[in-house]
A and B are shown apart, each in its own frame.
Chain A
Amino acid sequence: MSTTFTKSMARNIFYGGSVFFFLLFVALTVDTTHTLPKRDNSQNITPSVERGKKLWETNNCIGCHTLLGEGAYFAPELGNVYKRRGPEFIKIWIKSQPTGAPGRRQMPNFHLTDEELDDLVNFLKYTSEINTAKWPPNIEG
């Protein structure tokens, strides 16, 4: 780099650039927050969905599965599992774990009550109705 471009110039561009782009990020975040209600399905967040999300978290589901593509890649995507499998299948599946099939990946049994299973399914239904710009590409997730 030439000597006409000094360290203090570089420093000033750093501070100026960083502040500018952070403020731009904040502005886009404000706009996002205003736009979200049209896309985020928040009108369907019920107390049951809220309990379901907590169950999702306290059983560390994200430690194996992805949800809207984020999480671990060990087990299937669950953002659209409500549409792929339907509520009854999901509940029966969770209750029948682990399969114990030798050599196969195992999901623990979380000993959920029927009410908790309903909450979890309601959470997955709410998630499946978020507008994700047509992701995933197909039902397999």
Chain B
Amino acid sequence: MQYQSQAVAKPYFIAAIGLFVGQILFGLIMGLQYVIGDFLFPAIPFNVARMVHTNLLIVWLLFGFMGASYFLVPEETETELFSPKLAIITFWVFLVAGALTVLGYLLVPYSTLAEMTGNNILATMGREFLEQPLITKIGIVIVALSFLFNITMTLLKGRKTSISLVLTLGLLGLAVFFLFSFYNPVNLVKDKYYWWWVVHLWVEGVWELILGAILAFVLIKVTGVDREVIEKWLYVIITMTLITGIIGTGHHYYWIGAPEYWQWWGSIFSALEPIPFFMMTVFAFNMVSRRRREHPNKAAVLWALGTGVLAFLGAGVWGFLHTLAPVNYYTHGTQLTAAHGHLAFYGAYVAVVLTMISYAMPILRGRAANSEKAQNMEKLAFWLMSISMLVITLLLTGAGIVQIWLQRISPTPMGFMAVQDQVSIFYWLREGTGVVFLIGLVIYISSFFVKGGAKAAA
């Protein structure tokens, strides 16, 4: 560890992994409810499990991004963090707020929770992914501001590299676009239109800046390739991200009551959205093959390459699959959307956070890389989790295609629930594959506890 204050990243990473486990457990509950409808009903209805599943994902990725920033920024700016103390306070505030919110979901009926937490003052709840009570949303803004303040102050007093600038820009965008979660007009079309300013402009916009910056940082470290080369790639990739992704928002505006020209804007620009992801894959492989050093942390290299490939598959290929308006007319709101969502989030954001953790955690624990045995376990976990997520995606794609056929294309369309019965085999296989994913996750966590044989500190 080059700077003492980088140590604040550690609790962030530990919390991220802990919440990741929670996310997967609730995913398995939901997966089972898809086939055994009354499983855990009424204790944990599906909608509650889903809120916990998706909100935990968002929160643990945010923990991951923050931890990554606290590790990366001191090293990039070549100066200690502005305030490690503030970083630790922010950590606890965010963790407690997140835990209380999840407990609220699980223990109190949602409408009661809304009443208790000021939803009558400003109604923001009950919209997908933005289910958090008003006070939690305000808490997120405060945490984001204090975090951004800390990062920006550090940046101002130190070296300003492209990586740290791009990262900060992405984090700033994350905070700014979250503010649209407070705008909830009665007009449903406008509500949906601006809801996407949070959801799409996050995951297909500013989050990709964060992703690119983290990946570029790790690649510099593990390959030793010249910073100028890597940062040039970074700029080209994020340029493509934003020029395709911003107008690409239009692929969500086809069927929600917005003008029909969005079918053209959305189709054309979002069809180009795979390009930056493809470039990211080429970038990662290119840098690794041009490496000037053999970094002892092979697991981190594997994660970095995996991020490129899986993000391209999940976000790029599976996104393209249903992004053109004439296709989306049939696929919109089916299991195909769920398939894309799973591999895109895993491939892009889960993988990049785990890349950073893989690189940084050994250093935070006083060694350049983990022992051979620990790395082998981590690599096994990578393959188990990545392949099972790919299989889950294929199974949901199968379910989606059958669903679309029976419900929307067939001359004698079947009702939603009848179709669900027809595709249950896919759901059973998905649940089984989910268990494999969980095994991968358990092995991943176990790899942190392998003793002995550690490589010397850098």
Residues of A within 8 A of B (CB): 1, 5-7, 10-11, 13-14, 17-18, 20-22, 24-25, 28-29, 31-33, 35-36, 39-42, 45, 49-50, 53-54, 56-64, 66-77, 98, 100-106, 108, 110, 126-127, 130-133, 135-141
Q: How far is the CA of A20 from the CA of B34 in the complex (A)?
A: 44
Min CB distance A39 to B, Å, is 5
Decide if A71 touches B111 in the complex (CB within 8 Å): no
Which residues of the other chain, A, contact B115 by a CB distance below 8 angstroms? 58
Task: State A7–B166 Cα separation when bound (angstroms).
Answer: 13
A-B contact pairs, 5 of them (CB 8 A): A5-B232, A17-B242, A64-B46, A126-B188, A137-B408
* Closest CB in chain A relative to B199 CB, distance in Å: 10
Instruction: Report Cα–Cα, A24/B242, bound state, in Å.
Output: 12
Interface pair B259/A76, CB less than 8 Å apart: no
Contact B42 A106 (CB under 8 A): yes
The reply to whether A45 and B416 form a contact with Cβ atoms under 8 Å apart is no
Q: Contacts A24-B246, A69-B255 given; 12 further ones with Cβ under 8 A?
A: A1-B232, A10-B236, A33-B190, A39-B189, A40-B257, A50-B186, A62-B127, A76-B416, A108-B45, A133-B260, A137-B330, A140-B414
A1–B282 Cα distance when bound, in Å, is 12
A7 contacts B162, C-beta separation under 8 Å: yes
**Which 6 pairs show the lowest CB-CB distances between chains A and B?**
A63-B47, A57-B126, A69-B333, A105-B37, A10-B235, A135-B255
> Cβ of B110: which chain A residues have Cβ within 8 Å of it?
58-60, 63
Known A106-B42, A137-B330, A138-B408; contact A40-B187, beta-carbon cutoff 8 A? yes
| Number of A-B residue pairs at CB separation under 8 A | 229
Q: Which residue of B lies closest to A131 (CB)?
A: B257
- State which residues 1-48 of B face A: CB under 8 Å: 30, 33-34, 36-38, 41-42, 45-48
Q: Which chain B residues have a beta carbon within 8 Å of chain A's beta carbons? A: 30, 33-34, 36-38, 41-42, 45-48, 50-51, 110-111, 114-115, 119, 123, 125-128, 131, 162, 184, 186-190, 192-193, 228-229, 231-233, 235-236, 238-239, 242-243, 246-247, 249-250, 252-260, 262-263, 265, 329-330, 332-335, 337-338, 407-409, 413-417, 420
Instruction: Kindly list chain B residues whose C-beta atoms are within 8 Å of the C-beta of A29.
Output: 193
- Report B256 CB to chain A, min CB distance, Å: 5
